[in-house]
Amino acid sequence: MPGFELFGDLERKELNDVLDNGVLMRYGFDGMRKGHWKAKELENELSDFFKTNHVQLVSSGTAAVTVALASAGVGAGDEVIMPTFTFVASFEAIMMLGAIPVLVDIDDTLTLDPKAVETAITPKTKAVMVVQMCGSMGDMNALQAICTKHNVLLIEDACQAIGGNYNGKPLGSIGDLGCFSFDFVKTITCGEGGAVITNNKSYYINADHYSDHGHDHIGNDRGAEAHPFLGYNFRISELHAAVGLAQVRRLPEFIAIQKKNYTILREALARVPGVTFRKVPKGGEESYAFLNFFLPDLDRARKVSEAFKNNGIDVCWNYFDNNWHYIRKWDHLKNQKSLFPISSEVKAGLEKLQNTTFEQSDHYIGRNISCLIKMSWTEAEVKLRASKMVDAIKSSI
């Protein structure tokens, strides 16, 4: 991770196909295309990879979450349970629909704690959104059981976990809807892009229409298409889809490289006293996009993080003080700083964040260090990195 590290002839070929026919938009202009439909091809490739019936490409991972929720009828006043550790896009996507983000603790999987989810469910709960952060997953059996019990949606934000699987099912394909990001720093990239996947045909049709101003895409005359309901513009372009098409065909290659580099680092760190690793639920396999490990406490995690920086060990983070990925620094959310008025229901739902503490999440995030796995490293570079990491940890704890 990320896929841009290995750009090559395949990406250039797909891009040149689009430039040669001159149609950069995914819809319409049939006569000019010379048979090229990159977005449609990418959706078919993703459908095969995810073993899922329907895929709708959109403009970003954030758009994917918004479109997925809207497609299943989530909107004004509905509560969506989400984790304290994620990217800010999670609550942005929920609030875009007028729904209320309800933040709950994570556990040692670094994803939703099922016990915290169960406690947070109210009559207003419409969906539980598990975010498969840093390449791995939550306890999907437990989360599915809770959602079934309470008749609420299970949404998978698998934007950081393409290539992971749980009990033989690709991450993203387990819940009612799955969401992916193909931005510039994901395992496969379109530059900007995302996807919604589902086995529910109604949700797919809704996503198809909603992401393109409500167009029903029936017939060959775009201007004559009907609008069964309101929609917005979350379209991907053919140029972005072309890059993704080349990248998804290389995904097994990318995952193999990530796994090799991940394994070298993990085996080295496993021999260091005081180092433990995030829990991967039984039956799960990570995407190997990140290596996540715990240290005994926050103080030592901070010391190790600083030692990594001082020794040139990059792309490793302790998220406790991070502005973008952990609730402690989300002051703009807690203080409801918005360019436009927030609805009274959402305002009321967010007010509790001013005084709510998340000690369990602090316990795990404070001790965690997350290291991105690059695909461009040589084996010698990975082994040298592993040695430097071990030395830095031992000198700090």
Per-residue pLDDT reduced to its tens digit, 193-202: 999 999 999 9
Amino acid at 382: V
- Express each pLDDT in 42-64 by its tens digit: 999 999 999 999 999 999 999 99
Q: How would you list the strands of the sheet with 290-294, edge to edge?
A: 276-277, 290-294, 368-372, 316-317
Structural domain ending residue among the three candidates 216, 250, 284 = 250
How far is Cα 235 from Cα 233, in angstroms, rounded to an integer? Answer: 6
Structural domain ending residue among the three candidates 227, 250, 273 = 250
The torsion defined by the Cα of 343, 348, 352 and 353, in degrees rounded to 10, comes to 0
Q: Which residues contact 369 (CB under 8 A, 6 or more apart)?
A: 292, 293, 294, 295, 301, 304, 305, 308, 316, 317, 318
Residues 73 and 168 in one domain: yes
pTM over 0.85: yes
Q: What is the mean pLDDT of the chain?
A: 97
Res. 121 pLDDT band, cuts 50 70 90 = very high
Q: What is the pLDDT of residue 309?
A: 97
How far is Cα 35 from Cα 22, in angstroms, rounded to an integer? Answer: 12
Amino acid at 350: L
Residues 63 and 175 in one domain: yes
Residues 280 and 340 in one domain: yes
Positive or negative: CA dihedral 153, 204, 54, 85: negative
Residues 120 and 246 in one domain: yes
Question: Within a 10 A sphere around the Cβ of 207, how many other Cβ atoms?
Answer: 29
How far is Cα 71 from Cα 53, in angstroms, rounded to an integer? Answer: 16
Q: Are 82 and 52 in contact (CB under 8 A)?
A: no
Residues 236 and 261 in one domain: no
Mean pLDDT of 165-185: 98
- Express each pLDDT in 86-102 by its tens digit: 999 999 999 999 999 99
Q: What is the pLDDT of residue 28?
A: 94
Structural domain ending residue among the three candidates 198, 222, 250 = 250
Residues 93 and 230 in one domain: yes
Q: What percent of the chain has pLDDT over 70?
A: 100
Q: What is the pLDDT of residue 397?
A: 85
Q: What is the pLDDT of residue 80?
A: 98
- Express each pLDDT in 343-364 by its tens digit: 999 999 999 999 999 999 999 9
Mean pLDDT of 230-240: 98
Q: Within the chain, where are the H helices?
A: 9-21, 38-50, 61-71, 89-96, 114-120, 140-150, 201-210, 238-248, 251-269, 298-310, 331-334, 344-351, 359-367, 379-396
Residues 277 and 299 in one domain: yes
Question: In this structure, what token pair is assigned to residue 355?
Answer: 């005084």
Q: What is the pLDDT of residue 391?
A: 98
Q: Looking at the predicted structure, is the pLDDT value of residue 372 above 90?
A: yes
Q: What is the pLDDT of residue 382?
A: 98
Residues 38 and 178 in one domain: yes
Q: Looking at the predicted structure, is the pLDDT value of residue 332 above 90?
A: yes
Segments forming the whole domain that contains residue 18 = 3-250
Q: Which residues contact 15 (CB under 8 A, 6 or more apart)?
A: 239, 242, 243
Res. 23 pLDDT band, cuts 50 70 90 = very high
Q: Which residues contact 317 (CB under 8 A, 6 or more apart)?
A: 305, 369, 370, 371
What are the residues facing 101 on neighbouring strands? 80
Residues 260 and 226 in one domain: no
For residue 287, what is the domain's CATH number? 3.90.1150.10
Res. 1 pLDDT band, cuts 50 70 90 = confident
**DSSP result, 357-397:** --HHHHHHHHHEEEEE--SS--HHHHHHHHHHHHHHHHHH-
The domain tally of the chain equals 2
- Express each pLDDT in 244-281 by its tens digit: 999 999 999 999 999 999 999 999 999 999 999 999 99
Q: What is the pLDDT of residue 219?
A: 93
